[in-house]
Structures are given as C-alpha cells and as structure tokens.
Chain A
Amino acid sequence: MVESTVQQSRSRDLDKLLLRPGNLVGPNFEPGPGLREDLKEYVRVLVVGAGGLGCELLKDLALSGFREIEVIDMDRIEVSNLNRQFLFRLEDVGKPKAEVAARRVMQRVAGVNIVPHFCRIEDKELDFYSNFSIIALGLDSIEARSYINSVACSFLEYDADDKPQEETVKPMVDGGTEGFQGHARVIMPGITPCFECTIWLFPPQVKFPLCTLAETPRTAAHCIEYAHLIKWDEVHSGEAFDPDDPEHMKWVYDEANKRAELFGIPGVTLSLTQGVVKNIIPAIASTNAIISAACALETLKIASGCSKTLSNYLTYNGAEGLHTKVTEFVRDKDCLVCGPGVLIELDASVTLQKFIELLEEHPKLLLSKASIAHRGKNLYMQAPPVLEEMTRSNLSKSLYDLMGKIPKDVVHATGTTNKNDKKTSVLRKLRVVFKGVDEITDMETAAGGA
C-alpha cells in the first residue's frame, strides 16, 4: 500500500531494495524514495581500472542507481580485450579505455555521469581520491592495489582511544579474477583488514633460477624467460624491454622459439610468450561478470545500508562445478598501513634527539636506538653509517619543524625493544600530536596583525 504512493523508478528491483524495510539491513537504514535520490546526489564512486572488471563494474554501478561515477585507467584498448571488455568495439582499438568505457555507459544509461581519467593512479593527488565516497577496484596487480590501499588508509584518523573516526573511513571494494577463480572483498580501513593486513593471501610469483634459464631449460616457459630476461639485455644494450610494445614481444617470441628448437622443447607460442612475460592468466568473461556483480552489490550495500555488507572476503571458484565461500579475515593490529599506531603528545619545542630518547622511555614502546621516517623523508637513521652522517644534523632540530609545522601526523620508527629478555627489532607507527600548536599559530597571526 505504501508502495503504491511512491513513484516507481525504471529499476524495479532496485526499488525493492531501497524502498522497503527489512530484517537484515545495515544500521541506520532509512528506506524510501529519498534514499534513492540521495544515492544519485551524494554518493561519488571511483572505479579504478577500466578493463575486464572495470567495464562490468561501470555498467553494474550505473544500473544500480549511482549517478556520479569516475573511472581511472592508464591503458589503451587492444584487440585481445574485445572478447570480454564488452564496452569496446573494433574501431576503439588504440583509444584510452577509461574514455571509451565512460562514453559507452553514458550512452546506454540515461542520467548517469561518468568522468574518465586516462592516467596512472600515481599521477593523481591525494585530494582527488579523498573526494570519493567509495573506491571500487577492478585491478590485476598487487602493486596497484597496495598503492590505492595506502592512499585510502592515509585518510584514516583515530581518536584518543584508538578508535577509528567514522568520517575518515574511506571504504574500498576490491575485485580480482584469475581464470575461473576470483575474489570480492570489502575493506573498511580501521574496521576490517586492509589490503596490507592480508597481503600474504597472494602467493609469491613463480620465478625460475636464472642459471636454469641459461643452462638447462626444460619447459617452453624457461625458453621464453631466457629470451626475456637474459637475451634481451645482451642484444639491446640499455634499451628497456616494454611488454606493451608488440615488436618487443615478437622479438622475445622469436628468440624463445630459436632456443626451444635448440633444446628440442615444444610449446612456445606467441600467446604463451605474452602470458609468461606479462604473467597473464587467460581471463574468463563470466568470472569477471560474477565478481563485478558482487562488488557492485557491496558498493550499493555500503552506500545505502540496504543490507549488511560482506564480511569480509568472498572467494569464487568456477573451475569444477562451483564453489564460493566467505571468510572473515581479521585485522593485523600492528598493521603499519591501517593500524592506529601509538599516540604520542609532544611540545612543539621537542628536538628530534629528545624525541628519540622519549621513545626509549615510553611505556608502550620501550624503543631504543630508533630511526625515524616521516612521509618518505628519513629524519634520522641509526645505520648504515653513510645515512647516519647525512641525517645527524637533524637531531638538534625540533621535530615540529622537521615535520613541516603540521599539528599532527604519522611518523614511523624502527628500533630495538626487549621482549622476554631478547632484543628484537621492530618497526612502529606513531601518531604524533603537538600540544598547543593551534594556539601558537593564532598568537603568531595576532602578533603579525598587530
């Protein structure tokens, strides 16, 4: 009866989720047409990657009621993408993925606004990322995930009781596929494990010993890696191998073939060469579709509260029959990226030397011989001697000045601590807050004015 008074949108199924109350909904869920409008108005989603997962994600999010979407991808469209990256056509080959994907979805879904960014994720300032309500990841590399994770976690702030401050939590939804397998996960920095807490989930890459490649190749992959890692440098002195350059790839393929013939090894093909060199496992369109759907649904759940979110890691395996499972991973409480670290309050006058001494006495740390880093700057290094010498002059300076006169920030300290009478080396995250700094600034301003 209530529903009859509410105007239905063109997404009937979405209305069922957003307009009706339920028992399994998230906290503070307020169903109604207002929610439907707010999703459009106030939620900004960034999709990272416009490839196999990204195409699906953009389409899914656009059809799930999100209106403000942006997408970032540095790649251009290749012919081999066309079987699954369904937003692209043959005439698009060579064009930036982000731009074509954004345009195609906007053509098909009325009202949606997708802003493309054809660039590297590292090219964007932190401000760019802080603008989004939710970041959805459709990536294929650990490096890129680790990067975005550290960016999202850098917005996170903790209160005096080491509780994450809700307004600083930047939710991420991460999807990944390899052949018939995939995962979807929800990362709420400070609340659920971040990417770095569980980086061990990724198996190490298989790396063949160089001497095997040089002396005793036994497989087609050995021949390809020989051409790629050894022969290339021998022939192209100084020129870096570019895996995205078809001519480079062809050269490696030809060399691998010669080597395979020499050793009587079958199986070197161009696609295997690309696979080995770029570490590619053939992508399956349906796996991407399933994983992206899970990610889009989680994004909708986080934003609207229409259901509790995935807690927190879903694996999917469609290789034999179908197996899917959700595991609740736990945070690494000492995680250097998302953990709270140890809160330290200081006077702005404290020198770096004094600070290092304080860490030794701090009951939660008892950290002796500490080396200190702040946002990529090494303020003081105990070793090696060459770095000690380069950083020694900082010891007499005030930490506040060294940190660029900001009232609070994170620094990292490495040192030794006694654990059960054994000296162990530890790396700790410290939240440094300078006492009374705001007042000082005000006074300075006042004095300047007078």
Chain B
Amino acid sequence: MGSNKGVRNLFIFGSLFFFVILIVLTFDTLSKLPGRAPEITEDVNAGKMAWHKYDCIGCHTIFGNGSYFAPDLTKTTDKKPEAYLKRFLIDPKSVNPKASMPKLGIMPEEADQIIVFLKWIAKVDTNDWPPKPILAGAAGVGGRELTAGERLYQSSGCSECHMINGIGGTTAPDLTHIGNTRDKAWLFGHFKNPPAYTPDSAMPAVEASDGEIEQLTEYMLTLK
C-alpha cells in the first residue's frame, strides 16, 4: 500500500532502533553481573540443577518470580537455620507438621546443594529487594521503650520462625502464650541447649551472655 509506506517504515525502523538499544543494554548488563553476586562454585551450580530437577519454581518464587503458591526463597538462608532447612527439604512435615510441602524425595546431598545455592541467591545484589517490612521492623512500637529481652528477641531474628500475637514465622511453635506452659528453668536451659530439652529440635542455641538470656527468659514469662 503506497500511501502507508511512511508509517510502515517508521514501524520497522523504529522497532529495530529500540531493539538495538536492548542489545547494547544486554551486553552491558551481562558484563556487570559477576560483580553483583558471589562466585558460582560447583556446589552452587549443583544446587541450581537440583532446583530445576524438582521444579521448585512450580510453587515457590525466587527474586519474586515463580508461582506465588509458597514462600519466596530469595532470603530464606538469612532467616532459617541451616539444620532446619536441611531437614525440611528432605521431609517437610518431620520438622513442621503443618507444612503444605510434600515429601519430594530430595536426597541429603541434594538438600545440602540446594542450601548452598540458596545462600548464593541471598547474597545477590537485588537492589534491596525484598524491602524490610515497615511495621514489624519498627522499634518501640506505640512509643514504649522495648525491654532488653524484647530487643534480644528482635535482634536474634527469633520472629523469623516463631510468632507472637500474629507477627512472626509459622515454622516453629507459637510463643504468644508460652509463659503459661513453660517455667523459668526450662526456658533458660532450652535457650542454651535446645536439643537437651526438645529432642530433635532444629533450633540453634541462642548466642548471648547468661545475663541477656535471663532477660529473654523474663520476656517469655510475660507472654501469657
């Protein structure tokens, strides 16, 4: 069509122009990627292969991309203890009876590789994504100064797994009423050596001085 030649050429050459810009940006991006992430070891790659083998993306997201059916795993290794993750990968319900994830037959060495892979993912520079939640991160909620025990609870990342009054993780027991069920001696001893009190516990020992652990225990006892 003769009279449409101008607009047709604008379409073709305009599109080519933007595609060329994309190619240039692609080269630039690819050259910058190694500087934005740790080195990829054989274990990281083996973990990525296992990630694909079990179609993890079919439920989870990573960097926020995936299936939105299960939690995003970008920063998982920053939040959950490694021992917990390993046991969860091999048999989810053995460490978290309420877990929806099925037992996929992931082998122990594959679980280790997936954890190494997820640790690599957690160190990638994602332009600060995911953002830190505004409300849960705020210290001194409601204008009240936090007690020493509350501060230790927050700074140790306890809420990544435990929940108090609806805020926190669901992978470990809810602590909202823990003051009703446990006494001081049990809590104190448990913080220092969890498996001695709960056989098979995946919780790491709290790394703090005895004085601080006592303050944490006092805080737990107020939760009734």
A binds B: no
Chain B residues within CB distance 8 Å of chain A: none
Chain A residues within CB distance 8 Å of chain B: none
